[in-house]
Amino acid sequence: MAKEKFKTYEGVFDNFTNRTLFELITKGHFEGLESPISIGKESNVFTALNKQGQRLIVKIYRLETADFNRMYSYIQTDPRFAGLKKQRRKIIFAWCQREYRNLLKVREAGVSAPLPIVFKNNILVEEFIGNHNPASKLTTQPPQKPKIFFDLVIKNIKRLYQNNLTHGDLSAFNILNQKEKPVFIDFSHTTTKDNPRFKELFERDLKTVVQFFNKKGLKTTYESALKKITK
């Protein structure tokens, strides 16, 4: 069965990624890719099913087109990856591992985020968020009650902050609207407080979120949101 499902990927991914997919399938992590959720220059995101019929997310970082220089500019200041050599594949593999480790940490912190299942090389498997269809991003499904939703977003940012973490790339593109509750995704940029860029990334995240909700009719400020997080 795995070989049959594997054939459908030929010509879609590079040979190395094909081999990694095949290995994850043969180890029983999922049975095969379903539909693409997003196709980008950096990564492709698919739904997949496991043997129990549960839907999963498979995120595949592209080895040839991902901007590993940009990845390196973020990861080189992360103390957890000190000494990482600037080589394309090593950077992309570390980026994938970083997202897996970050998801574990933020889940432990009580942040609303997908559960990571497994990673290998440039492929990350994680929990599916949604019902039959994937939950929409805030960019396509704004909240019906912005104030309530915003307060929940701030609550999650506070949990990150209290655990010495910041998302690092938070925006309406990285927050899902799951039944009018936020779920944060895309944690590859997430870093710890001992990173010299922590303050810069935290402030950018919070300002971006405040700006989005103000455009949706909420009247709030960066200062008031910061107070809720740091008090």
pLDDT tens-place string over residues 164-219: 999 999 999 999 999 999 999 999 999 999 999 999 999 999 999 999 999 999 99
Helix (H, G, I), strand (E, B), or coil: what is residue 141? Answer: coil
CB 68 within 8 A of CB 91: yes
Q: Provide the residue ranges of all domains of the chain, joining segments of one domain with +.
A: 2-127, 136-230
- Predicted structure pTM score: 0.93
Task: Report the percentage of the chain scoring pLDDT > 90.
Answer: 84
Out of 1.10.3470.10, 3.30.200.20, 3.90.226.10, 3.90.79.10, select the CATH number for domain 2-127.
3.30.200.20
Quote the pLDDT of residue 9.
Answer: 54
State the Cα–Cα distance between residues 187 and 174, nearest whole angstrom: 9
Give the mean pLDDT of 49-71: 92
Quote the pLDDT of residue 32.
Answer: 86
Give the mean pLDDT of 128-132: 93
Active-site entry in 14, 67, 186, 194? 186
Active-site entry in 14, 67, 78, 169? 169
Task: Could you please state the CATH topology (level 3) that the domain comprising 136-230 is classified under.
Answer: Transferase(Phosphotransferase); domain 1 (1.10.510)
- Strands 181-184 and 191-192: what pairing? unpaired
Catalytic site residue 151? no
Kindly report the average pLDDT of the chain as a whole number: 93
- Residue 178: exposure state from Cβ atoms within 10 A (0-12, 13-18, ≥19): middle
Catalytic site residue 194? no
Tokens describing residue 193: 């407080």
